[in-house]
Chains A and B, each alone.
Chain A
Amino acid sequence: MIEILDARKDQIFEKGAQDTFEMTCEKVSVAGSVSQRACVFCGSRVVLYPIADALHLIHGPVGCAAYTWDIRGSLSSGPELHRLSFSTDLRENEVIYGGEKKLYAALTELIETYKPKAAFVYATCIIGLIGDDIQAVCKKVAAEQGIDVIPVHSEGFRGTKKDGYKAACEALYRLIGQDDKAVVSQHSINILGDFNLAGETWIIKEYYKRMGVEVVSCMTGDGRIDEIRRAHKASMNVVQCSGSMTYLAQMMQETFGIPFERVSYFGIEDTAEALYTVARHFHDATILQNTEELVREEVNRIYPEVEKYRQELTGRKAAIYVGGSFKAFSLVKALRHLGIATAIVGSQTGNKEDYEYLEEICDPGTIIVDDTNPLELSRFMAEKNVDLLIGGVKERPIAYKMGVAFCDHNHERKEALAGFAGMINFCREVYASVTSPVWQFSPAKNLRTRKEGTEDASEFCQAAHS
């Protein structure tokens, strides 16, 4: 049996097993645990990464840049500067004598070569320690080159991934409001927290177009600097991936008076609800009617296929472990559509309210967990005998070694999972993995099936005797 560390016990709950539900969360990971989280830098990098016409320069030794080269599945309809990896690649000498000169030279040569619309400079762990004043270097280069050069304070150890999101929001905020000349429709929104993974922003933008709602900017999927500059002109912010972008929405509300709503585009229910939320906001009969038509049309289109998968998949059990908790909510609901119960659900960065909501929507007996690790996750998966794990790259081999099917729901995914079309992709992916014949050879799967067989038999015997 795998032991749960004392320091982690308040981050794990089983619905219905305790009298009170009070999740401890938003704290740093225990030293020595193999957390699935990354660092502050990672948080900033994932949020800003999809801005395709900006230069993203990572200031520090080479690792942070090397591991994030072309890492996300964020697509661009135009420039693809974001898919390159730029590093100041600091060496020992620069660590001793400072990296400002190298940063200045790197920024200058890269801006002159690639002519970006703006530049983001990410500070990694050691930048503050060696005393580099990146603010001053950025300012100098900005003045010389005539573009915004924005420092992102993303030193890895300065908090959690969430603090990285915040640093990214602050960087975006510096751009917002710069273009005051733009004229936009009164029925206009910004999409916040969609990253155009596998073209998901395009799916969602198409829905809004059909509704008659103008999308001023998407932060940051298929993102462009000029769009971000006029984002303050929109009349509403629609926030997905609330963990990363709520902070920006709050700042925009404060400064520009733009209201925001938190939504999710995963699953039939949540996608429909997201679109209706926007439609209702504008109190416009045409938009509302367009939305109703759109939802009806789309649901009718996908429903027969979803139903087909539901029949095949119903009765299975799933585990969900994802970065943000909003995604987890949607997945619980989407799986329910398929007749799949969620036995374990967790996130890297959820807050108290998020977990309370999760507790509300989950079935009794569901394990809810914050910032888990491979040992715990594997133990829960074995205890609950799940058929499916939904997670990211780091979770995938855990599932496979345990003979459990897997659905990729991460930054690298190549299949769009958002919107109504995404629901079909999701069903297909889950179905393809769960029903694959390869599991017949998996020793873990076979062992579980045999055990189940004996348990069922003994239960049957007991029932027969009583």
Chain B
Amino acid sequence: MQANFVKLPTVKKTGPAFVSTRNACKLCAPLGASLVFRGIEGCVPLIHGSQGCATYIRRYVISHFKEPIDIASSNFSEATAIFGGAANLKIALDNLIRQYKPSAVGIASTCLSETIGDDVQGYLEEYRKVHVGVDIPALIYASTPSYRGTHMDGYHEAVKATVVALACGGPRSNSLNIVPGFLSAADLRHLQEIIADFQLPCTMLPDYSETLDGESWSDYQKLSPGGTPVSAIRAMGRAAATIELGRSLAGEETAASCLTEAFGVKRVTLGIPIGIRETDLFFSAVQEIAGCELPQKYAKQRGRLVDAYIDGHKTISGKRAVIYGEADFVASMASFLDEIGIVPSLCATGAPTKKFQEIVSSLLSAGHKDIIIREDADFEDMLDICSKIGVDIIIGNSKGYYLAKNLNLPLVRAGFPVHDRIGGQRILHVGYEGTQQLFDRIVNALIEYKQINSPVGYSYI
């Protein structure tokens, strides 16, 4: 299913001015993999490399989710780097199994283990052989060297590795698989609510909506409760269809494509449902799979959203925004801004995704001039471009505060990480409801900016 919009707008292409990366707009691959593994019930992520990788990633993830997240490390030493990580990996697995009694261990490699050529898959086979007849957790391995791609590549690699390791075939069910991409905990809950309202059984992989946004506990939990059960992942090969969110996934080898190839599960690749156009596509895909009408609840949400668009349109019409973050997130945000009359003047991602320009352009209506679409961008590039082209609002994660501070502009926080505010994990972006919340926040940010900077002190705006 592809969006059918009018011809490409004029797009300015610029190459990176600097060899170095200055204030990166991306993170490394094992972070994405760790998030996926924490979205599996009873699964401990294990990063195969130096201790710092696990610790830095934990700290970073905690700063956004404000939840405990245990990520183990195989703790490479100098000798490990010389003789290989087999022994460390085995000890790490033994210790993890003893202490955490996990249902799965998700192993992510690092630049270090990949550079020395560690054969993790081989080590795991060895481990399984030694433990034949013993009940050991599912072992999932994702190859995630940080010199290849970004945290999103790590994320999708881990989802794919999980499905390849665990999914089985069998009689077809009417269940729907959802591979949501890197969304907030609130987004994951909302998507599940939507699918449930269509009376469809659903397996979402990963699902960190509880593990990384849980309740207050009565007793300390070794691993936060929640996540996709291993048994449900095994059943993904029998599902009616897989919806994967993220336009950049189209044509790539992904978890969904592997399920199609191995078990004939239908693959549907869509954009992240932000904005009416992308959300319409999502709902019609779900309707098609469920074979039923759009529930009233969502028809009303859509109706209210249209009403709000109209109420707010004059405040935002013609405003210029910079949006940045993961390629698929930016693409959907660009589509959303485009449909409400904000010009996505600079669309940037830190990922060196070649398809990025094409994807974003395909989502914009004709007539826009001078939109800059940049892959492999960092925040210094963005600051430089924004200073030249002039923008009114910044929309994206907390890293954009750097732009907001330098340009003295309003920042609407969305995506990951949000570490200078509380509740980043509860920001809703998707569906008509998420779009509604984003829309209100964007309009209000512009109103507030005007109010603060007005010498009159308008009390009605």
Interface size class of B (residues with CB under 8 A): 35 or more
List, in ascending order, chain B residues with CB within 8 A of A144's CB. none
A375 interfacial contact with B, CB 8 Å = yes
Question: Which residues in window 440-461 of A have CB below 8 A to B?
Answer: 441-444, 446-447
B98 touches A3 (CB 8 A): yes
A38 touches B99 (CB 8 A): no
A62 touches B222 (CB 8 A): no
Question: Which residues in window 52-83 of B have CB below 8 A to A?
Answer: 52-60, 62-63, 66-78, 80-81
A17 interfacial contact with B, CB 8 Å = no
* Bound-complex Cα distance A303 to B150 (A): 52
Which of these, A7, A57, A129, contacts B116 with CB under 8 Å? A129
* Bound-complex Cα distance A68 to B53 (A): 12
Closest to B217 in A: A401
A296 interfacial contact with B, CB 8 Å = no
Which of these, B19, B72, B112, B147, contacts A33 with CB under 8 Å? B72
Question: Which residues in window 19-44 of A have CB below 8 A to B?
Answer: 28-42
B21 touches A394 (CB 8 A): no
B28 interfacial contact with A, CB 8 Å = yes
A32 touches B92 (CB 8 A): yes
Given contacts A41-B52, A95-B115, A378-B220, contact A110 B76 (CB under 8 A): no
Which of these, B56, B115, B216, contacts A126 with CB under 8 Å? B115
B91 interfacial contact with A, CB 8 Å = yes
A259 interfacial contact with B, CB 8 Å = no
List, in ascending order, chain A residues with CB within 8 A of B391's CB. none
Give the size of the chain A interface in residues (CB under 8 angstroms): 78
B75 touches A63 (CB 8 A): no
B43-51, B120-128, B134-142, B171-179 - the one binding chain A: B43-51
Given contacts A157-B80, A401-B68, contact A32 B91 (CB under 8 A): yes
Given contacts A63-B56, A67-B57, A67-B60, contact A84 B23 (CB under 8 A): yes
B4 interfacial contact with A, CB 8 Å = no
Closest to B54 in A: A34
Given contacts A5-B99, A35-B51, A90-B147, contact A394 B59 (CB under 8 A): yes
B248 interfacial contact with A, CB 8 Å = no
B56 touches A393 (CB 8 A): no
B81 touches A129 (CB 8 A): yes
A31 touches B75 (CB 8 A): yes
* Bound-complex Cα distance A89 to B100 (A): 35
Max chain B C-beta neighbours (<10 A), residue from A5, A126, A158:
A126
Question: Which residues in window 349-388 of A have CB below 8 A to B?
Answer: 373-375, 378-379, 381-382
A101-109, A181-189, A197-205, A268-276 - the one binding chain B: A101-109
B58 touches A394 (CB 8 A): yes
A447 touches B218 (CB 8 A): yes
* Bound-complex Cα distance A403 to B219 (A): 9
A183 smallest CB distance to B (angstroms)? 39
Given contacts A86-B21, A87-B20, contact A30 B62 (CB under 8 A): no
A398 touches B74 (CB 8 A): no
A60 touches B111 (CB 8 A): yes
A443 touches B216 (CB 8 A): yes
Closest to B100 in A: A375
Closest to A381 in B: B220
List, in ascending order, chain A residues with CB within 8 A of B162's CB. none
* Bound-complex Cα distance A88 to B21 (A): 6
Which of these, B24, B49, B60, contacts A89 with CB under 8 Å? B24
B96 interfacial contact with A, CB 8 Å = yes
A125 touches B112 (CB 8 A): yes
* Bound-complex Cα distance A49 to B268 (A): 47
A69 touches B24 (CB 8 A): yes
B24 touches A30 (CB 8 A): no
B19 touches A125 (CB 8 A): no
Q: Mark A63-91, 1 if CB is under 8 A from B, else 0.
A: 11111111000000000000011111111
B111 touches A37 (CB 8 A): no
B81 touches A91 (CB 8 A): no
Given contacts A57-B20, A67-B27, A157-B80, contact A31 B222 (CB under 8 A): no
Which of these, A31, A38, A65, A105, contacts B24 with CB under 8 Å? A65
A157 touches B218 (CB 8 A): no
Which of these, A32, A94, A441, contacts B95 with CB under 8 Å? A32
* Bound-complex Cα distance A332 to B107 (A): 39
B393 interfacial contact with A, CB 8 Å = no
A404 smallest CB distance to B (angstroms)? 10
B24 touches A157 (CB 8 A): no
B26 interfacial contact with A, CB 8 Å = yes
List, in ascending order, chain B residues with CB within 8 A of A90's CB. 147
List, in ascending order, chain B residues with CB within 8 A of A379's CB. 220
Which of these, A62, A109, A158, contacts B18 with CB under 8 Å? A109
A66 touches B50 (CB 8 A): no
* Bound-complex Cα distance A401 to B225 (A): 12
B88 interfacial contact with A, CB 8 Å = yes
B119 interfacial contact with A, CB 8 Å = no
Given contacts A91-B147, A126-B115, contact A37 B55 (CB under 8 A): yes
B145 interfacial contact with A, CB 8 Å = yes
A32 touches B74 (CB 8 A): yes
Which of these, A61, A378, A402, contacts B145 with CB under 8 Å? A61
List, in ascending order, chain A residues with CB within 8 A of B76's CB. 125, 156-157
List, in ascending order, chain A residues with CB within 8 A of B57's CB. 67
Q: Mark A119-140, 1 if CB is under 8 A from B, else 0.
A: 0000011100110000000000
A212 interfacial contact with B, CB 8 Å = no
Closest to A4 in B: B99
A31 touches B88 (CB 8 A): yes
A254 interfacial contact with B, CB 8 Å = no
B431 interfacial contact with A, CB 8 Å = no
Closest to A438 in B: B216
* Bound-complex Cα distance A394 to B216 (A): 17
B293 interfacial contact with A, CB 8 Å = no
* Bound-complex Cα distance A401 to B217 (A): 6
B94 touches A38 (CB 8 A): no
A393 touches B55 (CB 8 A): no
Given contacts A2-B99, A67-B27, A158-B78, contact A95 B147 (CB under 8 A): yes
Given contacts A35-B55, A157-B77, contact A374 B68 (CB under 8 A): yes
A428 interfacial contact with B, CB 8 Å = no
B75 touches A106 (CB 8 A): no
A66 touches B99 (CB 8 A): no
B396 interfacial contact with A, CB 8 Å = no
A85 smallest CB distance to B (angstroms)? 5
A177 interfacial contact with B, CB 8 Å = no
B81 smallest CB distance to A (angstroms)? 5
B24 touches A66 (CB 8 A): yes
* Bound-complex Cα distance A156 to B56 (A): 12
List, in ascending order, chain A residues with CB within 8 A of B227's CB. none
Which of these, B52, B72, B93, B116, contacts A39 with CB under 8 Å? B52
B56 touches A443 (CB 8 A): no
B222 touches A2 (CB 8 A): yes
Q: Mark B189-228, 1 if CB is under 8 A from A, else 0.
A: 0000000000000000000000000001111111000000
List, in ascending order, chain B residues with CB within 8 A of A60's CB. 111
List, in ascending order, chain B residues with CB within 8 A of A34's CB. 54, 58, 70-73
Excluding A31-B89, A61-B111, A89-B21, 17 further A-B contacts by CB distance (< 8 Å) are A7-B95, A32-B92, A34-B73, A37-B51, A41-B50, A57-B20, A62-B21, A62-B146, A63-B53, A63-B56, A67-B56, A67-B57, A92-B145, A129-B81, A130-B115, A374-B68, A394-B62
5 closest A-B pairs (Cβ-Cβ)? A39-B52, A63-B28, A32-B92, A32-B95, A156-B50
Interface residues of A, Cβ cutoff 8 Å to B: 2-3, 5, 7, 28-42, 57, 60-70, 84-92, 94-95, 102, 105-106, 109-110, 124-126, 129-130, 156-159, 373-375, 378-379, 381-382, 393-394, 396-398, 400-403, 441-444, 446-447
6 A-B contact pairs sorted by A residue (CB < 8 Å): A32-B94, A106-B20, A157-B50, A394-B58, A394-B62, A397-B69
